[in-house]
Amino acid sequence: MVNTSTVLLALTAIGVLMLPMSAWPQVAAPDLQLQQESSPKEDHRHSPDQSAAETQGTLRLIEPTPNAEARDAPHDYETRVDESDQLEEELDWSSSIPWGDTIPQWIMAVSGVVALIVSIWAVWLLKQTLRATRDATKEAERGATAAFAAIDLSRENMQLQLRPYLSTTPNLTLSFGGNRVPMVEVTVKNSGNTPAKEISYSIKGAFSRPGDQPVLSGEPQRGRDINPGQDAHVYWLGKKSLTHAEVSDFQNGKLVAYVSGEIYFRDVFGAPHF
């Protein structure tokens, strides 16, 4: 019969084999084998009276040699632990920095400062653009004003070159008719390049003794248009006839004739002149 110690060893081996695999990483559980020892060949010659316990053999605990996988298991586990620790260190790198807990706040603060700088730069750029636009507008206005001034000057110069110019001859002709009414003839000439239009005259005259203040009188008259290079005659007639003594005094210089007048006209551009 199998002895009690042998049974206990067998049960212990069975219990160890039934342990869960999670309990085995660090300590390699020995493989338990039950081996029946048989008697040597020469023991087969023993007598049949030998006890059943001796013929059946005995059970003993055998610890096999660990294979390569069993040897490498602790090493692999330590490698995985090291890699996991390294990964945790990489993920928690901010914890090694003294101010690592405030990194998000620092990032937000730096982003705010950068945004503020960009905003200030944008405002400055807008201000410079507006200033350049305003300067360009003023420059354009000055250029336009100068251009208009040049146009006006050119137009004025053209009008000055093309307008009519009227002048009178310095010599006045005084005559007396049969009734001794004095008459003064004034010659008006157009020396310009365009006709003088809407001409009107205001000729006044008087006879007075030297040193006396003459009283001039006359009536406005309308004249005809005068073309360039042509002339016209304007007359002043006295209001009364002179006596023979006044005519004699005029011829002797004791009586002086005073004549004044104005001429009004418009040029071809509609501008008035006198």
- Domains contained in the chain, number: 4
Map residue 163 onto helix, strand or coil: coil
Q: Is residue 173 located within the same domain as residue 155? A: no
Say which CATH number the domain at 192 has: 2.60.40
Cα separation values, 143 from 88, 139, 146, 150, Å: 73, 6, 5, 10
Q: Is residue 189 located within the same domain as residue 176? A: yes
Q: Is residue 174 located within the same domain as residue 226? A: yes
Residue 98 lies in a domain: no
Tell me how far apart the alpha carbons of residues 188 and 199 are, in angstroms, rounded to a whole number: 11
- The neighbour count for residue 204, using CB atoms within 10 Å, is 18
Phi, psi dihedrals of residue 251, rounded to the nearest 5°: -70, -30
Residue 117 lies in a domain: yes
Q: Is residue 179 located within the same domain as residue 251? A: yes
Q: What is the pLDDT of residue 12?
A: 57
What beta strand segments (E) does 80-216 contain? 166-168, 173-176, 182-190, 197-208
Residue 156 lies in a domain: yes
Q: Is residue 181 located within the same domain as residue 111? A: no
CA angle 247, 248, 250 (to 5 degrees): 65
Residue 58 lies in a domain: yes
Map residue 52 onto helix, strand or coil: helix
- Long-range Cβ contact pairs of 105-113 (< 8 A, separation 24 or more): none
Map residue 175 onto helix, strand or coil: strand
Q: Is residue 194 located within the same domain as residue 128? A: no
Closest CA to 261 of 226, 227, 223: 223
Structure tokens at 33: 């084998």
DSSP-assigned states of every residue in 218-234: --EEE---B-TT-EEEE
Residue 157 lies in a domain: yes
| Tens digit of each residue's pLDDT, the chain (274 residues) | 445 555 455 555 555 555 554 444 454 444 444 444 444 444 444 444 444 444 444 444 445 455 555 455 555 555 555 555 555 555 555 555 556 567 778 888 888 899 999 999 999 999 999 999 999 999 999 999 999 999 989 988 998 899 999 988 756 667 776 677 888 888 899 999 999 999 998 888 888 888 888 888 777 888 889 999 998 888 888 888 888 888 888 888 888 888 888 899 999 988 999 8
Q: Is residue 83 located within the same domain as residue 52? A: no
Residue 107 lies in a domain: yes
Closest CA to 12 of 61, 81, 72, 79: 61
Q: Is residue 191 located within the same domain as residue 142? A: no
Residue 25 lies in a domain: yes
Structural domain for 267, as ranges: 166-273
Residue 219 lies in a domain: yes
Q: What is the pLDDT of residue 75?
A: 54
Q: What is the pLDDT of residue 210?
A: 84
Q: Is residue 264 located within the same domain as residue 192? A: yes
Q: Is residue 2 located within the same domain as residue 30? A: yes
Kindly report the pTM of this predicted structure: 0.46
